[in-house]
Amino acid sequence: MDNTTLIFHQLEQQLLRALAGKQEAVRAILICLLAKGHVLIEDVPGVGKTTLAQALAASLDSDFGRIQFTADLLPADIVGVEIYNPNKQAFTFHAGPIFHHIVLADEINRATPKAQSALLEAMGEGQVSIERETHQLPQPFFVIATQNPQEHLGTFPLPESQLDRFFMRIAIGYPDRASERLILLGKAGREQLQDFTPMANWQQVIAARKAIAAMPVSEALMDYILTLLEKTRNGDWLIQGVSPRAGRDVLRAAQANAWLNQQDYVSAADVQHIWLATLAHRVLAQGDSSAALQQIIEHVAIPA
């Protein structure tokens, strides 16, 4: 194991101190970070969505901003506003809380679609445009959004264009018995954050991203991924298939998973591991999107 990989394994273990027993959720948020994507955590209140975001922020040597989304939130409350300065006789830009390396958009679906749309340009292009002026966001820029299930009162569904900006949508779920015992005793959960120390900096994140981008991908695996993508678009399982952007994200997520597993190459198992979390929120099906995507995985032969 090289030094960079070791650093992120240590970071992963630290995150598990806050989210005991949730290896899949912790691995998913690391994949998003290392694959240059944003993550949406959807689950019921109280299972650790915000704790996971805060744990990652505490584990990186980075600045952190939190935006609590509410029904009366305005786009200017997120991105900032131009205010006239009479002394300078000019407008001065006052940056909003989105101007951080890591931004927690907490309970994003409690805000109106107008407020949600303030994130579109930021997440897609790493910039915001205000009064015909473009302002670059800090780079790297990583959004962790949380939301409650749509059947909860006081929520607004995220539009398709917003959902597509998220590299993955994940759930945390209730803890198992052993993990919940640790939480009740204060040996896991938010209480652990006060002892967290930064395990990595952005230079190390960038180095890991370069190593992941260089992960070898065989022609056989590329054909496997392309066949899967084609199956999503033939109308047999899905109404709306996978876009090229989402297809590219499948490959990047598989590379990140392979790198974290200390593999020398990307395998079909890596694609299968990230398949649902990367795509279920970006496609449309007559019934359950996850079930339809799982059927596609089962109908395509794994390359030898």
**Tokens at residue 114, please?**
């107008």
286: helix, coil or strand?
Answer: coil
Distance of alpha carbon 40 from alpha carbon 103, whole angstroms: 12
Length of the chain: 304
pLDDT for residue 82: 84
What percentage of the chain has pLDDT greater than the value 70?
Answer: 98
CA dihedral of 40, 44, 45, 48, whole degrees rounded to 10: -60
In what helix (H) or strand (E) does residue 83 lie, and over which residues does it extend? strand 80-85
pLDDT for residue 1: 67
Question: Are 134 and 84 spatial neighbours (Cβ–Cβ below 8 Å)?
Answer: no
pLDDT for residue 83: 86
Residue range 191-203, pLDDT digits in tens: 999 999 999 999 9
Question: Are 8 and 56 spatial neighbours (Cβ–Cβ below 8 Å)?
Answer: no
Q: Looking only at Cα atoms, what is the longest distance across the chain?
A: 71
Residue range 121-141, pLDDT digits in tens: 999 999 998 877 899 999 999
Q: Which residues of the chain have pLDDT under 50?
A: none
pLDDT for residue 160: 85
Question: All domains of the chain, ordered by start, with CATH?
Answer: 23-174 (3.40.50.300), 215-299 (1.10.8.80)
pLDDT for residue 150: 65
In what helix (H) or strand (E) does residue 178 lie, and over which residues does it extend? helix 177-184
- Nearest one of 31, 29, 2 to 16, comparing CA atoms: 29
pLDDT for residue 92: 83
Do β-strands 90-95 and 80-85 pair in parallel, antiparallel, or remain unpaired?
Answer: antiparallel
pLDDT for residue 89: 78
